[in-house]
């Protein structure tokens, strides 16, 4: 049973994650989950219990790498269609033979990574997977950026979407949504990391700046970063000059970079599992993300069949 939410001290736009009996099963998404049920309240009560990135869950069980992996960024189900027709072309493409070079023509304003994603692809994949279009755009943009920054990592949007589902139902917790600017309309604040509800003990590190709590740290935003982790990994995914943990563009890119740390290769079973457990040290959590990521990839494959 989900209890009524209690406002935090961080302002009337914030919403604290409710404490719940369901916290006994951190991050649990039923094995029968399907993309059409992405907005299910089944995962809401666990927010903030599993969602503090970088090892805030105390209990760690022996890990077993998955047999069925989410696809890589060039695989069916993990590929992102772009307006240029090539993911590599998002960032750089030399002139074709006989084409006028940049030296002899005005330079156009560069498009952002998000603007390079095919609108048709976004519409169809969002429809088939149930991932909100604005969230899907952020996950896809993070994938394209990492293909340029760290191509060997092979992180793909289904994995990021799996994390986004388990952490905050893609920023839609408590009836909020992701606005056109990428920010959640209701700021998502996790429960205090005070050693209860299977969390680690993490006293306040940011003076309440991000989480509104001057006693304990809390996970914040659609991808549920704790303040210390955000201080290191915070990213500006939309180029507005601000690294905002409540912005899906920023948090998706930060999560992708975090998963790719230590030169991990996410198309290798061991690398993927290590990355997910670095995000949250719970094998059950990892299994939930895996189920969601594979379901999204399967739905995306159906959406793009024949393309």
Task: Please report which helix (H) or strand (E) contains residue 14, including its range.
Answer: strand 14-16
Contact 224, 52 (CB under 8 A): yes
Main-chain phi, psi angles of 73, to 5 degrees: -70, -15
∠ CA 287-264-63, rounded to 5°? 35
**pLDDT score at 198:** 84
User: Is 31 a domain residue?
Assistant: no
**pLDDT score at 305:** 82
d(CA 151, CA 18): 39
**pLDDT score at 111:** 61
3 state DSSP class of 16: strand
User: Is 204 a domain residue?
Assistant: yes
User: Is 178 a domain residue?
Assistant: yes
Main-chain phi, psi angles of 45, to 5 degrees: -70, -10
**pLDDT score at 297:** 97
Query: Which of 75, 160, 148 has the alpha carbon at shortest distance from 112?
Result: 148
User: Is 240 a domain residue?
Assistant: yes
User: Is 44 a domain residue?
Assistant: no
Domain coverage including residue 182: 113-305
What is the total count of domains within the chain?
Answer: 1
**pLDDT score at 64:** 65
d(CA 102, CA 16): 51
User: Is 78 a domain residue?
Assistant: no
User: Is 76 a domain residue?
Assistant: no
User: Is 49 a domain residue?
Assistant: no
307 residues of the chain, pLDDT tens digit each:
222 232 222 333 334 333 222 222 223 333 334 333 333 333 333 344 444 454 444 334 445 677 788 999 999 999 999 998 755 444 433 333 344 334 444 444 456 898 999 999 999 999 999 999 999 999 999 999 999 999 999 999 999 999 999 999 999 987 899 999 999 999 999 999 999 988 889 999 999 999 999 999 999 999 999 999 999 999 999 999 999 999 999 999 999 999 999 999 999 989 999 999 999 988 999 999 999 999 999 999 999 886 5
**For 273, what's the count of Cα atoms within 13 Å in the CB-facing half-sphere?**
15
Say which residues have a Cβ less than 8 Å from residue 169's Cβ, sequence separation at least 6.
Answer: 38, 39, 40, 43, 44
């Amino acid at each position: 049973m989900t209890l009524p939410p209690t406002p935090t001290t961080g302002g009337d736009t914030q919403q604290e994650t409710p404490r719940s009996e369901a916290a006994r099963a951190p991050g649990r998404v039923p094995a029968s989950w399907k993309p059409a049920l992405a907005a299910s309240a089944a995962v809401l009560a666990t927010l903030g219990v599993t969602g503090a990135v970088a090892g805030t869950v105390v209990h760690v069980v022996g890990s077993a790498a998955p047999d069925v992996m989410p696809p890589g960024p060039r695989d069916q189900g993990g590929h992102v269609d772009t307006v240029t027709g090539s993911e590599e072309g998002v960032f750089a493409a030399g002139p074709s033979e006989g084409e006028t070079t940049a030296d002899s023509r005005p330079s156009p304003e560069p498009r952002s990574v998000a603007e390079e994603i095919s609108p048709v692809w976004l519409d169809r994949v969002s429809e088939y997977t149930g991932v909100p279009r604005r969230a899907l755009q952020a996950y896809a943009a993070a994938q394209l950026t990492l293909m340029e920054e760290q191509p060997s990592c092979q992180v793909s949007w289904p994995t990021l979407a799996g994390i986004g589902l388990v952490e905050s139902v893609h920023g839609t917790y408590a009836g909020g949504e992701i606005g056109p600017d990428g920010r959640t309309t209701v700021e998502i604040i996790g429960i205090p990391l005070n050693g209860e509800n299977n969390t680690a003990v993490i006293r306040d590190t940011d003076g309440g700046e991000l989480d509104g709590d001057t006693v304990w740290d809390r996970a914040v935003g659609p991808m549920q970063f704790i303040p210390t982790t955000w201080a290191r990994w915070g990213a500006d995914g939309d180029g507005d000059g601000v690294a905002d943990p409540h912005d899906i563009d920023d948090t998706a890119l930060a999560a992708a970079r975090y998963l790719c740390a230590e030169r991990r290769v996410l198309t290798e079973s061991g690398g993927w599992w290590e990355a997910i457990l670095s995000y949250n040290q719970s094998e059950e959590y990892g299994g939930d993300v895996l189920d969601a990521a594979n379901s999204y990839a399967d739905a995306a494959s159906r959406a793009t069949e024949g393309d």
